[in-house]
Chains A and B, each alone.
Chain A
Amino acid sequence: MQTKVVLRSIGLLLMMFSTTLFFPLFISYVYQDGAALTFWKSFFIILASGALLWFPLRHEKRQLYHRDGFLIVALFWAILGTMGAVPMYLAETPNMTFTDAVFEAVSGFTTTGATVLEGLDTMPKSILMYRQQLQWLGGMGVVVLALAVLPVLGIGGMQLFKAEVPGPVKDSKLTPRIAGTAKALWTIYLSITIACAISYRLAGMDWFDAVGHSFATTANGGYSTHDASFGYFNSPALDMIAIFFMAISGMNFAIHFAALQRGSLKVYKLDSETRCYLGLMIISGLVVGAHLYYHSISGFSLSEAMIHGMFQIVSFMTTSGFISTNFFQWPGVSPILLVFIGFIGGCAGSTAGGLKVIRVMLLYKQGQREILNLIHPNAYIPVKVGKEVQQDRVISAVWGFFGLYVVSFVVIMLLMMEFGLDQVTAFSAVAACINNVGPGLGEVSTSFKTVSDGVKWLGCIAMLLGRLEIFTILVLLSPRYWRY
């Protein structure tokens, strides 16, 4: 462990993060909402703590070890959760406790979108934009952003990249150099965001809402500037734009990159993860839509039912967590189906959470292989995705991941029940947090406001575990990690 190098990197990252406060500051001056002082204070606190870590260690420029990457990323996300909470903690409206502020910040960064706030419509615009911006930064990954813009971090960047990027195969670079890859990812991300914001504006949002929602949409976050989320606008056009951009952001950005480079849409058709992702999404969207329509208690017309069904499925599958209507009051199996589709999540290398489609595909194919092997004991059956044979190493890593996912899930759920949640609430709360979806069922269907502090802290842990894909955090808990 090279503590000094790790701390120096974190100092740098914090200083970089402090500069992102200028955007909400700008919003604050535009709308004159009186929160400017809060952001100035927060800016200096974050900048100072970053500088304090960095300045004494500024000459520690050694190569990062393989294992340092985990520590930097995990530590940075934890510290960022706390530091990101500073503006919300200091603000006069909303008046938040420390726990609430941290929960809100972590939920933002991890693109979960679970909130403890109510009465968003009357809050200072700058605070609202700050929340949206947290999601946007967390979506593609703050460390990846740092790799793109800070050449100082370039040393050993691959370790950092691997620890933050989601998916089972982490060393796939888009360009030969890691900084180029990070830049490419952020450029695509930024372009999708801009396209999304413009579409929202054209379909009727004002600029503030359009930009804010585009941040949360491309990040698959789920924060909104209104309590009723997308239900506030009650516009099928906006719903459809949101469906489109959530689905786009839930795809592997490497595929977007390839499509751009070759200038053809065929790339999407050829990629079996994308095919599986879209197939699942469309089928379950139609099923839920039809289900809603035939249970006439919901009172939707056919097109309304289809749009709401599709919106909610896409929102949960890409783990955004936007709400277009009160889905938790839907009849029958639909709400539970939504929670479960959140487990599958989006594609690897996207901004979505969950297990990731590719992992689910691999688990399924591995199961299929075991059955085939029982029928043909002598057969050698490779696990393939498309035409590509998957290494056994990857498959066993996926199983390990799945095992730890289930264990973490069960442990956190049991602890939450101990803190007083009923079973449905506890189950859906953990699912909402660990999959980075946001809304759950029962008590936590709209906000986490009413649950106890213990549950909120557990939620923070679950969100970080989910966003950093378990291993990055759990590796730090292994005693072997700290021994030389």
Chain B
Amino acid sequence: MKILILGAGVTGSSVAGALANEANDIVVIDRKPELLSALKERLDIATVIGNAAHPSVLEQAGVRNMDIVIAVTDRDETNMLACQIIKTLYSKPKTIARVRAIDFLKHPELFDPNGLDIDIVISPEQIVMEAIHNLIKFPGVLHISAFADGLVRLFSIKAVKEGFVTGKKISALKEKLANGKIRVVAIFRQGQAINVNGEAMVMEGDEVFFVSPRHKIRKVLSELHTLEAPIKSIMIAGGGHVGKRLAMALENNHQVKVIEYNPVRVRKIANELENTTVLQGDCADETLLVDELIGKTDLFCAITNNDGANIIAAALAKKLGVKKTICLLNHSSYVKLLAGSEIDVVVLPNQETLGSILKHVRKGDVARVSSLCGGSAEAIEAIAHKDSKGLSVVGQRVDEIKLPSGVVLGALIRNKEVIPIHHNTVFEENDHIVMFALDKKLVKNIESYFHRI
């Protein structure tokens, strides 16, 4: 596939990185030559220097033959305008634009064909914010993402001694797990995936991934003994876009404090937020944290744009007695550093954003992709379609399909209802199937089963 990426910032380059490995032709446009040369060094891509909204620059990047344009420059206006220009002049490419400002997002009709005509609008801050918000809604959960319009959720927990799965074989759990409606799709033991089949056993300390209908989550979590006391007081370190939106989403039902270093930004967000206490200071300042009663706080979210500061602040907060910490990391390689540390949950915004972009880039009827575990594993939602060559899964029984090892079926959604998966279940046209792939190289394998030709 031919993909044009506008903007070589953090998102732009990680999208380029993720897609460059999948046999796509990628061109990146940015105004800053130094960003582009660094990217070119690392990846096998072409680059063009210039304003991403100028037709001449787009032309130079070969926009005519592109299949997809992903506009992720740091300015909303450029992204939206570039997409509109491309639609007006070339009309062929599918356009994806990143829009951050809530002012634009509040008016979805702006992006209709009558308006700016952008095919897909993504808002990474919103995605990251929702990811963190979900973690707050389900305390004790390490990761959570939604599939099939929110009908099904994928979530992971750390197995504790008292939980009913601990020390049991998966095959013995059917009864407990709502007769197959909830499935264990992956088990990670000390960072390593172990094979999930009926004989696999969950040990204390494992990270276990479940796929479950939405309404069952709370019940399962409480039986797993991981549902912690609801979170009431939250301290957010970093008042950037994510911090501000998170505070906005939480401030009416929780006690929220935001710590931000830049006095100008402090004023700006304090003016926009209503029930949040906005503090000016360093989020790793012990006196400030102690004065603001960190010891009585339920959750500390370190979400500045500096990974180092996030790690330090989260570790410090934990030392000072906060019940739980969430740490945001832009560089997924740091995740390895945190294994065994006191930080409870790590959120990787690039993965979240990447997931939302990837699902539009992937071939076939693959509806939603979620990048997990530092990008190495992926959860996929695919739609089953008949095809002439008989490669499709439609009409086949579950035990007839030879999925590569490392791919696990998570959930089957038929007509907006979750159907339990047994070995003799037969797939039908338009079934949504949620799968978990331990290695993202397997994704291409899966795609072949669902590709409409």
Residue positions of A touching B, CB distance < 8 A = 372, 376-382, 384, 387, 389
Q: Is the beta-carbon distance between B277 and A379 smaller than 8 angstroms? A: yes
C-alpha spacing A52/B143, complex, angstroms: 86
Kindly supply a per-residue 1/0 record for chain B positions 273-290, scoring 1 wherever the CB is within 8 Å of any chain A CB and 0 otherwise: 010011111000000100
- Measured CA separation A97–B292 after assembly (Å): 68
Please tell me if the beta carbons of B277 and A376 are within 8 angstroms of each other in the complex: yes
Complex interface: chain A residues within 8 A of B292 (CB): 376, 378
10 A-B residue contacts at CB 8 Å? Answer: A376-B257, A376-B277, A377-B291, A378-B280, A378-B281, A379-B279, A379-B280, A380-B280, A382-B267, A384-B271
- B266 in the interface (beta carbon within 8 A): yes
User: Which residues of chain A are near B277, meaning CB under 8 Å?
Assistant: 372, 376, 379, 381
The reply on B270 being an interface residue by CB < 8 A is yes
The answer on a CB contact under 8 Å between A380 and B267 is yes
A379, B278: Cβ atoms closer than 8 Å: yes
Contact B266 A380 (CB under 8 A): yes
Please list the 4 inter-chain residue pairs (A to B) with the smallest Cβ-Cβ separation, ordered nearest first.
A389-B271, A378-B279, A380-B270, A380-B266
- Is B270 a contact of A382 with CB atoms below 8 Å? yes
Nearest-neighbor residue (CB-CB) of A376 within chain B? B277
Residues of A within 8 A of B274 (CB): 384, 387
Q: Are B288 and A381 in contact (CB under 8 A)?
A: no
Question: How far is the CB of B275 from the nearest CB of chain A, in Å?
Answer: 11
Compute how far the CA of A216 lies from the CA of B439 in the bound complex, rounded to whole angstroms. 83
- For B280, the chain A residues whose CB sits under 8 A away are 378-380
Within 8 A of A (CB), among B267-317: 267, 270-271, 274, 277-281, 288, 291-292
Tell me which residues across on chain B come within 8 A of A381, comparing CB atoms.
Answer: 270, 277-278
Distance from B376 Cβ to chain A, minimum over Cβ atoms (Å): 41
Most buried by B among A376, A380, A381: A380
Report the separation of the CA atoms of residues A347 and B160 in the bound assembly, to the nearest whole angstrom.
61
A374 to chain B, nearest CB (A): 12
How close is A391's CB to chain B, nearest CB, in angstroms?
Answer: 11
Q: Chain B residues near A382 (CB, 8 Å)?
A: 267, 270-271
Q: Mark B365-402, 1 if CB is under 8 A from A, else 0.
A: 00000000000000000000000000000000000000
Inter-chain CA distance A381–B271, complex, in Å, is 8
Interface contacts (Cβ under 8 Å), in number, total: 34
CB-CB contacts below 8 Å: B28-68 with A = none
Distance in angstroms from A385 CB to nearest chain B CB is 12
Q: How distant is the Cα of A71 from the Cα of B235 in the complex, in angstroms? A: 54
Flag if B279 contacts A376 (CB, 8 Å): yes
Contact present for B288 and A378 (CB under 8 Å): yes
Given A372-B277, A380-B266, A380-B279, 8 more A-B residue pairs with CB atoms under 8 Å apart are A376-B277, A376-B292, A378-B291, A380-B267, A381-B278, A382-B270, A387-B274, A389-B271
Interface core residue of A376, A379, A384 (most chain B CB under 10 Å)? A379
Nearest CB in chain B to that of A381: its residue: B270
Task: Name the distance in Å between A272's Cβ and chain B's nearest Cβ.
Answer: 12
Question: Closest chain A residue to B282 by CB distance?
Answer: A378
Bound CA–CA A389/B281 (angstroms)? 22
Q: Nearest-CB distance from B260 to chain A (Å)?
A: 9
Residues of B within 8 A of A380 (CB): 263, 266-267, 270, 278-280
Count chain A CB atoms within 10 A of each CB in B271, B280, B281 and give the residue with the most: B271
A380–B267 Cα distance when bound, in Å, is 7
Minimum distance in angstroms from B362 CB to a CB of chain A:
42
* Min distance, Cβ A371 to any Cβ of chain B, angstroms: 13
Closest to A388 in B: B271
Contacts of A387 in B (CB 8 A): 274
Inter-chain contacts of B266 with A (CB < 8 A): 380
Q: How far is the CB of A234 from chain B (nearest CB, A)?
A: 48
A149 to chain B, nearest CB (A): 41
Write the nearest CB–CB distance from A450 to chain B, whole angstroms: 53
A382 to B291 CA separation, bound complex (whole angstroms): 21
Distance between Cα atoms of A389 and B270 in the complex (Å): 9
In the assembled complex, the CB of B252 is this many whole angstroms from the nearest CB of chain A, namely: 14
How far, in angstroms, from A384 to B267 measured CA to CA in the complex? Answer: 12
A378 to B280, CA, bound (A): 5
Tell me the nearest residue of chain A to B260, going by C-beta. A380
| Distance from B236 Cβ to chain A, minimum over Cβ atoms (Å) | 13
Q: How far is the CA of A382 from the CA of B274 in the complex (A)?
A: 10
- B235 CB, nearest partner CB in chain A, Å: 12
The interface residues of chain B lying within 8 Å CB-to-CB of A376 are 257, 277, 279, 291-292
CB proximity of A382 to chain B, nearest CB, Å: 5
Q: Which residues of B contact A377 (CB under 8 A)?
A: 291
Chain A hits for B291, CB < 8 A: 376-378
Nearest B residue to A390, CB-CB? B271
B30 CB, min distance to chain A CBs, angstroms = 35
B263 cross-chain contacts in A, Cβ below 8 A = 380
Q: Residue of B at shortest CB range from A372? A: B277
A284 to B: closest C-beta gap in Å: 27
Q: List residues of chain A with CB within 8 A of the CB of B278.
A: 379-381
* Bound form: Cα–Cα A35–B215 in Å: 85
**Per-position 1/0 for B245-257, Cβ under 8 A of A:** 0000000000001
Bound-state Cα–Cα, A385 to B274, Å: 11
> In the complex the two chains form, what is the Cα distance from A378 to B281 in whole Å?
7
Chain A residues closer than 8 Å to B279, beta-carbon distance = 376, 378-380
CB distance from A387 to the nearest CB of B (A): 7
A113 to B129, CA, bound (A): 59
What is the minimal beta-carbon distance from A255 to any residue of chain B, in angstroms? 22
Q: How far is the CB of B124 from chain A (nearest CB, A)?
A: 26
Q: Give Cα A378 to B2, complex, Å.
A: 51
Q: How far is the CA of A387 from the CA of B267 in the complex (A)?
A: 14
B411 to chain A, nearest CB (A): 42
In the assembly, what is the distance between CA of A381 and CA of B263, in Å? 12
The docked-state distance in angstroms from the alpha carbon of A377 to that of B271 is 18
For the complex, what is the distance from the CA of A372 to the CA of B277, rounded to whole Å? 9
Give the nearest-CB partner of A387 in chain B: B274
